[in-house]
Amino acid sequence: MQVDTLINARWIIPVEPYEIILEHQALVIHEGNILDILPQQQAMQKYQAKQVENLGNHALIPGLINAHTHLAMTLFRGIADDLPLMEWLEQHIWPLEQKWANEAFVRDGTDLAIAEMLRGGTTCFNDMYFFPEITAHQAIQHGIRANVGLIMIDFPTAWADGPEQYLEKGLALHDELRHEPLIRTPFAPHAPYTVADEPLRQISTLADELNLPIHMHVHETLFEVSQGERPLKRLHELGLINPAFIAVHMTQLSNSEITKFAQSGAHIVHCPESNLKLASGFCPVQKCLDAGINVALGTDGAASNNDLDMLGEMRTAALLAKGVAQDASAVSAATALSMATINGAKALGIDDITGSLTIGKAADICAIDLSAIETQPLYNAISQIVYSASRHQVSDVWVAGRHCLKNRQLTTLNIQDLQQNIAQWQEKLSSPLK
């Protein structure tokens, strides 16, 4: 049988089933999907491939899913470090956004972020930012899968003048993109402290009607939860907390809140490095997992991380969870890998499409070269990927069968042009605010 691509790999880690490692197998790609996974000798006899990749030192894992990003803010990387969240936002980020956040800013910042993510094995992201139509366009152009949030915030910005226009523009964009195979458009109200009850009620109703997820920062800091009524209680009362709800951060949780959230079927996106850098608190990940909550993984924006490195995020998530739980078995390597892949797909409502190397799913694949001295000797490929490997060992990435990173070279972005654009933004953003 004629097929598009056949990849022979030393290890294939499908993620589903959990903790399974296949050795000396081949993965077959045809028409953008995974057609088969079988022993290499059988694959060579059964299939004639247009392209054969022999990755004898590599592990194939599902493409990583960065379940919470602000891609355009990559242009703010390192611009106001070592500050608490509200000071960082109010005195630095929001004034810069007011002056500079326009279509060109979002386009170039998104390109920079997509380049970084593809080079680190990420094949899907879940974004929340202004000018989502630009983010979606760049994702389509560069061949990466995306959930592009329909932003909502109470105050005016360069994109919309208030809740009514945010909704109007968001719904129009959803309608425009509904047939794009790589793009989904969840609602993305910013946070309980920046969106009033009425817009949230409208979003809740529309999300039910359109079968769309809702992606929102929740319980990010102690300050947020100490301002009267607990935000989670309010969101429960407004009807938002349900299986389509994605709560990002969740660093301030009581045991009763964990239990009630688990009963709702809603999802958490854990952003350990951003939370650590902003001193926002610790999500009790193992408690949440033990309660039955689906916990995914995100980097947050590169302005507060300061990278979009999902391999690094997996390591931090596993190590931090052990410290918080005071239990060395908390968030194992295999669990961290699940959080960065299938759990992210479940949170975004696309686990029927991606998140595991499963026959019939999209060929969203990351290849990691484990032959480097830094990952030797190798006893368990999953542990080595989570605890020892770096993103610089990612050699190849496919999204829906498209080879977006080939032998460390991006195939859909021009690095030289991108670097020139970023240098211009660095000069602009370094100038004093007036």
Give CA angle at 342 (340, 346), nearest 5°: 110
Residue 361's closest CA among 347, 381, 341?
A: 341
Report helix, strand or coil for 270: strand
Residue 129's closest CA among 61, 83, 186, 45?
A: 186
pLDDT score of 42: 98
pLDDT score of 361: 99
Is a pLDDT exceeding 70 seen at residue 116?
yes
Is a pLDDT exceeding 70 seen at residue 98?
yes
List pLDDT tens digits, range 126-153: 999 999 999 999 999 999 999 999 999 9
Q: Is the peptide bond before 414 cis (omega within 30 degrees of 0)?
A: no
- Class for the domain spanning 2-62+362-410: mainly beta
pLDDT score of 86: 84
Q: Is the peptide bond before 231 cis (omega within 30 degrees of 0)?
A: no
Structure tokens at 203: 């979003």
pLDDT score of 302: 96
Is a pLDDT exceeding 90 seen at residue 271?
yes
List pLDDT tens digits, range 200-224: 999 999 999 999 999 999 999 999 9
List pLDDT tens digits, range 157-171: 999 999 999 999 999
Would you kindly state where each structural domain of the chain is located, as residue ranges? Answer: 2-62+362-410, 65-348
Within 10 angstroms of residue 54's Cβ, the number of other Cβ atoms is 12
Alpha carbon distance, N-terminus to C-terminus of the chain: 65
Is a pLDDT exceeding 70 seen at residue 178?
yes
Residue 434's pLDDT band (boundaries 50, 70, 90)?
A: low
Cα-to-chain-centroid distance, residue 380: 25
Task: Using the Cα atoms of residue 82, residue 324, residue 297 and residue 171 in order, give the sign of their dihedral.
Answer: negative
Is a pLDDT exceeding 90 seen at residue 429?
yes
List pLDDT tens digits, range 361-400: 999 999 999 999 999 999 999 999 999 999 999 999 999 9
65-348 fold:
TIM Barrel (3.20.20)
In percent, how much of the chain has pLDDT > 90? 96
Which residue is associated with the tokens 């769309």?
A: 212
